[in-house]
Amino acid sequence: MVIEKEEFRQNFKPFDKEIVVEIIDIFIQEWPDRQKEIQKNIEEGDFESLRFNAHSLKGVVANFIADEPKTLAKQLEDNAKEKIDDDNLAKFQELTKLINELIEELKEIKEEYV
């Protein structure tokens, strides 16, 4: 489990169900582009863009109460800030795996709101 589901429900409790579904859909639709962009940043050594994109991803997954991907995104952000290239690709591959799990869990949660 990537998402703390009870905390997720509490976090999104004030929102209309349609808004929750829209937030989930937007994340799922945007992930492939985010994924390609972060991989490109790592491959090109573009630390400034990597820092921005990892920070953005960290914020989004934090909203879903997904600590493991949030932690990996923060590690990528911190590495980019310090211009460290160590294990960024391995961290990104693990992050991708976790985001794919996150997406599957979001799809399940979304069914509760439809």
Give the pLDDT mean for 13-31. 97
Sorted by sequence, the CB contacts under 8 Å of residue 2 that are 6+ apart come out as: 66, 68, 69, 98, 101, 102, 105
Domain that holds residue 59: 18-113
Residue at 109 is within a domain: yes
Matching residue, tokens 């390609």: 36
Task: Please state the pTM of the whole predicted model.
Answer: 0.94
56-80: pLDDT as tens digits: 999 999 999 999 999 999 999 999 9
In total, how many domains does the chain have? Answer: 1
Residue at 1 is within a domain: no
- Cα–Cα distances (Å) from 6 to 25, 66, 105, 112, in that order, read 20, 12, 13, 13
For residue 36, the domain's CATH number is 1.20.120
